[in-house]
């Protein structure tokens, strides 16, 4: 009956999981809850454009807008930024670009600058590294529309415009650098049918490089240009002579503004930014991965169901009929299966840290899938993850203390300190080194001292006390009792076949969890390193559920085979089996670096692999903990379901 009970429980668990996945797949669209309230503008209302960082996919090093000698306003004012924005390297500031709602402007002069050798070199370096200028209007990022004739005149949008371009004059072989000094803005608005109010639903630009000419003396903004003139309705075109970047050259910055009425409503204005990728490939890949992993999970569940049912029934029937002979397989090591492992303290620390990670990611996924962490809430995702990590310290301390007490540990304060400091200290050390490299490049991506102090305060002031509180609660509760009594003298583990060797089984076990996420991983890496928006959090949540089940099932299967081979050292191997998927994650990151990115600077390469090392380490802790607790539950359930004399 015990075998039937276990089989029934496993079957019900798998049915519940299948129903959950079907429900999630049906509701997999992540909808958008605006991060800010809509703002209505009357005709002639002032629209202030803000500037953000300069970004490049070649260097991955952001710089502030005014690190280049662009036209500044009378007084530069930094916008209030949340923790996530600062960590992302955002530096949002005011600009001299000022529009009037629904009032077009043409050939407005910002300023004239004279380049010297230093400033000319700065512009040339930024152009060589493909830097783009980012701006914001009413919380909408600036985009450049590009027509793709290979897809029935479909339009794609690129974030920001390039600082400039390289080319040659006709009949010359010398390559020159040209600056984009004229911007033609298009502000799209949606008008209220019952009032004169309008809301901004789009912010586009077309950059030009033009060598402006003027008659007479320079009169600042009142100078009349001959290359573009609002009175003569002469607009800048791509046929104009471009503005070359050289020492002692004058550069005049100008802009046009056009307003275009749109049928797009304010609630849907982010669709333009979120639908940039090839959705057909994305959806097909996700669904294909979902079907494959569901099929494999079903096979694993059915195999385990039948095998366990047969084993438990056989053992119990033999003992009932008094025909039991020498025991073999997993029942033979029942007296050693729950013996505390080597380095049990370290296992408790990693298990507790994994619980902290699991809680943080689970809650973040839920909020993101509901739309509360949409791209309009700039920096919200990273801020939420940091705060959730801090508050999940309570569960981290509790989980590590419970496991530590089961191993008959008595120094709970010692294990609590390790849980609170081991993983965060490692990550902080790597982060500090990478941040020092960014400081050396004088990039705005370097975390300021004040923000670094805030991170340390969150760690020591909130996370550590919560870890201690959780550990105290967990240690004061009665210890988890083992389902069987442990032998005083450990058994000798027999020689194993090559395919059951720890290294082989661990590496094999990591392939399936990685296979569940590697397609989605491509889009995540693209959004991070190629500066694109990621928004399909509904599907990401499904992939996360698949990852949990896959880690659990592959660990249970390999743990069962290990115990059948009379090897009772399953504690660490269960953690490493699913945790080894982090190795494949890092290898895939290296593959992505050499095939998809165009990074040439050594510092940028170090930053990439440094941050991917942090991500892989976190992935190891997360997946390892999932596999460990699944195997822990399985072995306790298995040994408590048979009669043991």
- Exposed e or buried b per residue across 373-406, where buried means at least 16 C-beta atoms within 10 angstroms of its C-beta: bbbbbbbbbbbbbbbbbbbbbbbbbbbbbbbbbb
Lowest mean pLDDT, pick from 69-78, 90-99, 191-200, 425-434 = 191-200
For the purposes of burial, counting CB atoms within 10 Å of the CB of 532, is it exposed (0-12), middle (13-18) or buried (19 or more)? middle
Res 20 pLDDT > 60 = no
Q: pLDDT digits over 297-325, tens only?
A: 777 777 677 666 777 676 666 555 555 44
- 316 φ, ψ (degrees, to nearest 5): -70, -35
> Residue 438's pLDDT is what?
94
Residue 153 pLDDT class (50, 70, 90 cuts)? low
Res 230 pLDDT > 50 = yes
Domain map (residue ranges) of the chain: 45-274, 279-309+341-485+497-641
The predicted model gives 540-568 an average pLDDT of: 87
Model pTM score: 0.87
Determine the Cα–Cα distance for residues 204 and 156; give it in Å rounded to an integer.
12
**Pairing state of beta strands 182-191 and 250-261?**
parallel
> Residue 21's pLDDT is what?
41
Furthest CA-CA distance within the chain: 114
Res 28 pLDDT > 90 = no
8-state DSSP, 461? I
> Residue 278's pLDDT is what?
53
- 263 φ, ψ (degrees, to nearest 5): -85, -10
**Pairing state of beta strands 198-208 and 250-261?**
unpaired
The sign of the CA dihedral 526, 529, 531, 534 is: positive
Lowest mean pLDDT, pick from 139-153, 362-376, 542-556 = 139-153
Closest CA to 128 of 75, 175, 182, 198: 175
Structure tokens at 568: 């009772």
Residue 381 pLDDT class (50, 70, 90 cuts)? confident
- Give the list of residues 6+ apart from residue 481 with CB closer than 8 angstroms, or none: none
The sign of the CA dihedral 137, 143, 147, 152 is: negative
Res 23 pLDDT > 70 = no
> Residue 317's pLDDT is what?
66
Q: pLDDT digits over 167-226, tens only?
A: 887 777 788 999 999 999 999 999 887 777 999 999 999 999 999 888 878 887 788 888
Res 30 pLDDT > 80 = no
> Residue 7's pLDDT is what?
38
Integer-rounded Cα Rg, in Å, for the chain is: 31
Half-sphere exposure of 429 (CA within 13 A, CB side): 6
Pairwise pLDDT comparison (46 vs 147), residue with the higher score? 46
Determine the Cα–Cα distance for residues 607 and 629; give it in Å rounded to an integer.
33
Q: pLDDT digits over 250-271, tens only?
A: 999 999 999 999 998 888 888 7
Res 85 pLDDT > 90 = no
> Residue 593's pLDDT is what?
96
Pairwise pLDDT comparison (75 vs 156), residue with the higher score? 75
- Exposed e or buried b per residue across 489-499, where buried means at least 16 C-beta atoms within 10 angstroms of its C-beta: eeeeeeeeeee
Determine the Cα–Cα distance for residues 360 and 355; give it in Å rounded to an integer.
9
Q: pLDDT digits over 462-472, tens only?
A: 999 999 999 99
Task: Compute the C-alpha angle 579/582/588, nearest 5°.
Answer: 155
Res 163 pLDDT > 80 = yes
String of DSSP letters for 567-579:
----HHHHHHHHH
- 222 φ, ψ (degrees, to nearest 5): -90, 0
Determine the Cα–Cα distance for residues 24 and 164; give it in Å rounded to an integer.
46
> Residue 10's pLDDT is what?
39
Q: pLDDT digits over 598-632, tens only?
A: 998 899 999 999 999 999 999 999 999 999 999 99
> Residue 645's pLDDT is what?
54
Average pLDDT of the chain?
84
């Amino acid at each position: 009956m015990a075998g039937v009970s276990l089989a029934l429980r496993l079957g019900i668990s798998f049915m519940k999981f299948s129903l959950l996945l079907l429900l999630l797949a049906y509701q997999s669209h992540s909808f958008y809850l605006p991060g800010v309230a809509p703002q209505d503008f009357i005709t002639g209302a002032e629209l202030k454009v803000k500037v953000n960082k300069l970004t490049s996919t070649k260097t991955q090093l952001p710089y502030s807008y005014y690190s280049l000698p662009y036209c500044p306003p009378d007084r530069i004012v930094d916008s209030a930024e949340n923790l996530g924005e600062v960590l992302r390297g955002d530096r949002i500031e005011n600009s001299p670009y000022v529009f009037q709602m629904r009032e077009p402007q043409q050939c407005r002069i910002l300023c004239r600058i004279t380049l010297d050798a230093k400033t000319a070199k700065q512009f040339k370096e930024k152009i060589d590294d493909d830097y783009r200028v980012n701006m914001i209007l009413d919380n909408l990022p600036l985009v450049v529309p590009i027509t793709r004739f290979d897809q029935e005149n479909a339009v794609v949008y690129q974030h920001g415009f390039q600082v400039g371009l390289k080319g040659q004059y006709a009949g010359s072989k010398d390559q020159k650098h040209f600056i984009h000094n004229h911007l033609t803005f298009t502000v799209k608005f949606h008008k209220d049918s019952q009032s004169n109010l309008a809301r901004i639903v789009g912010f586009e630009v077309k950059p030009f490089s033009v060598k402006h000419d003027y008659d007479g003396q320079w009169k600042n903004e009142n100078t009349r240009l001959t290359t573009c003139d609002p009175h003569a309705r002469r607009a800048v075109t791509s046929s104009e002579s471009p503005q070359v970047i050289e020492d002692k050259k004058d550069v005049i910055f100008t802009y046009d503004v056009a307003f275009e009425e749109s049928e797009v409503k304010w609630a849907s204005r982010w669709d333009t930014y979120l639908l940039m990728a090839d959705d057909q490939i994305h959806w097909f890949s996700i669904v294909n991965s979902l079907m494959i992993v569901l099929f494999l999970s079903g096979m694993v569940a059915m195999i385990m169901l039948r095998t366990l049912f047969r084993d438990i029934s056989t053992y119990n029937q033999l003992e009932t009929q008094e025909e039991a002979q020498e025991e073999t397989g997993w029942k033979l090591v029942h007296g050693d299966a729950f013996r505390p492992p080597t380095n049990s303290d370290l296992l408790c620390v990693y298990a507790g840290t994994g619980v902290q990670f699991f809680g943080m990611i689970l809650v973040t996924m839920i909020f993101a899938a509901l739309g509360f962490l949409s791209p309009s809430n700039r920096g919200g995702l990273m801020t939420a993850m940091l705060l959730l990590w801090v508050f999940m310290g309570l569960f981290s301390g509790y989980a590590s203390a419970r496991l530590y007490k089961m191993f008959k540990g008595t120094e709970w304060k010692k294990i609590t300190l390790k849980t609170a400091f081991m993983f965060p200290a490692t990550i902080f050390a790597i982060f500090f080194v990478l941040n020092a490299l960014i400081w050396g490049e004088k990039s705005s991506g370097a975390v300021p001292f004040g923000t670094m102090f805030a991170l340390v305060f969150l760690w020591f002031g909130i996370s550590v006390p919560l870890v201690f509180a959780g550990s105290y609660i967990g240690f004061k509760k009665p210890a988890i009792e083992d389902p069987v009594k442990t032998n005083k003298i450990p058994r000798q583990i027999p020689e194993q076949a090559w395919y059951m060797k720890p290294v082989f089984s661990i590496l094999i076990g990591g392939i399936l969890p990685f296979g569940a996420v590697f397609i989605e991983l491509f889009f995540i890496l693209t959004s991070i390193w190629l500066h694109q928006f990621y928004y399909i959090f509904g599907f990401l949540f499904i992939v996360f559920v698949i990852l949990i089940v896959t880690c659990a099932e592959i660990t249970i299967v390999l743990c069962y085979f290990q115990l059948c081979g009379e090897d009772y050292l399953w504690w660490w191997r269960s953690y490493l089996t699913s945790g080894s998927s982090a190795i494949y994650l890092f290898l895939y990151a290296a593959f992505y670096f050499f095939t998809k990115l165009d990074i040439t600077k050594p510092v940028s390469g170090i930053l990439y692999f440094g941050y991917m090392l942090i991500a892989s380490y976190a992935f190891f802790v997360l997946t390892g903990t999932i596999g460990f607790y699944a195997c822990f539950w399985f072995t306790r359930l298995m040994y408590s379901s048979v009669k043991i004399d």
